[in-house]
Amino acid sequence: MILVDNQQKTMEQLKDMFHIPLETIHKSSEFAINDNLKGYDLGSRKKRDANAQKFPSFFFTEDNRGISREIRYASSKSNVKNKQGEITEVFSPRKVQIDGDLTIPAKLDLAVFLYLHPKNRQSPFRNEATIWTYEFVDKQQLANSRIGRGDAMLSALNHAKTAKGKDLKLIAKGMGIVNVDMMTELEIQASLSDMAMANPSAYLQKVDKQITKFEGRVLDCIDKRVFTQEDTFGSIKWVWNAGDKKGQLICEVTNKTVTPEMFLIQHIKGHINEYNSDINNIQKGLDVDQKAEEFLRDAIVVTVDDEGNPIEEEEIYKDEVDSVVIEEEEEDVTLQSDDDLERELNGYSEGEEEFVFDVTEQKAEEPYFPKPEHKECHAYLTFFKGSNASPKQASDLRKEIEAGNLQPSNIREWISENMGF
């Protein structure tokens, strides 16, 4: 039984008086000891099993009107006559107990008393400033939390997987991932996925904030050298290195407990109205440059023949390259080809003097100076590169020979400087 000011109350009355989740307690009445109160075993480096916690079977509290109330649990009550002959009420037990790590009370009234007691974390009478001894294990809430964590994990992973393009890089930088510009899109998504799985809720909270992308933009400006550091006698300063404000001071790093990059981010965030427009404009310019670079990199290079007619790359290679296999063994270079291709790669065509070079020896003899013809220039470059030269490289070499800029004495030096092999 539970008594309030020595008056026995029903469970429904207690529910109405103290707004307790009676149905939940009735379905599952489990209580667990606060982990922070458990001892630590230095040998096993694990928490010790919790000791039993005993405390009186009653407590005093105040209701919402400030009136003191006594709440007591008792399994039995008896009347006892004292020495003066007075009849007094005696309640049993005098103490209740939380057994070890987990307690499952056999009686609903005991479970309700343990829930109401100020030592319980969820008690309506607990002082938030005090350390709680045990807590009610709400299995329904735990189940909902597990489902919520699963939903958060799916949402976080879906975000990491579907983020693309410029936003992907800015978010990754804002999330603290390093070397983003050196990664492929898939590698960035994988790094974000790792963060999403480690803490889905924190990940979703951060990626949903505009300030995360803004921090990414600041870091992107650092990576693109829009903002640069100047170190003068140990004093680090950030300055503009692009746009109309190039050379102007942004800030001096005065807090040595954070990185210069983090100091710059905090400074710009503190003056966001001043910097946001400039960063946006410069970022747009960087995006335009990036798109132009990608367009030029992916553009088709048109190669012309000796008469100035355009030749598609596939036509140049369809009889020359597809069946050429380069095999490397230590420092030896061996070209294996079909009979027809071997004649062309060696610079031979009908009516011309055969151009032969031997690549089977450890130190092959250098071929003689090539004629200003595409095929001969291509074969000449292929010899020195050890693999197929590109049509553009062969075309560049032919143009230099035609212009009279190359001689047997300087051709190797020119190839090394301009083609890197």
Instruction: Determine the residue type at 312.
Output: E
**Whole-angstrom Cα distance, residue 201 to residue 156?**
8
Tens-digit pLDDT string for the chain (421 aa): 999 998 999 999 999 888 889 988 888 888 888 887 776 655 666 666 667 788 899 999 887 788 888 999 999 988 888 777 788 888 899 999 887 667 778 789 999 999 999 999 999 999 888 889 888 888 888 888 889 888 989 999 999 988 888 889 999 999 999 999 999 999 999 999 999 999 998 999 898 788 998 999 999 999 989 999 998 888 999 999 988 889 999 999 999 899 999 999 999 999 988 888 888 888 777 666 666 665 665 554 555 566 656 555 444 444 444 443 434 333 333 333 334 333 433 443 444 433 333 333 333 444 567 888 887 887 788 777 666 778 788 888 888 888 888 888 888 888 888 887 7
The three-state secondary structure class of 212 is: helix
Asked whether the beta carbons of 324 and 341 are under 8 A apart, the reply is yes
Q: What is the rounded CA–CA span in Å between residue 290 and residue 284?
A: 10
Claim: this prediction has a pTM higher than 0.75: no
140 phi and psi angles, rounded to 5 deg? -65, -40
CA distance 168 to 162: 9
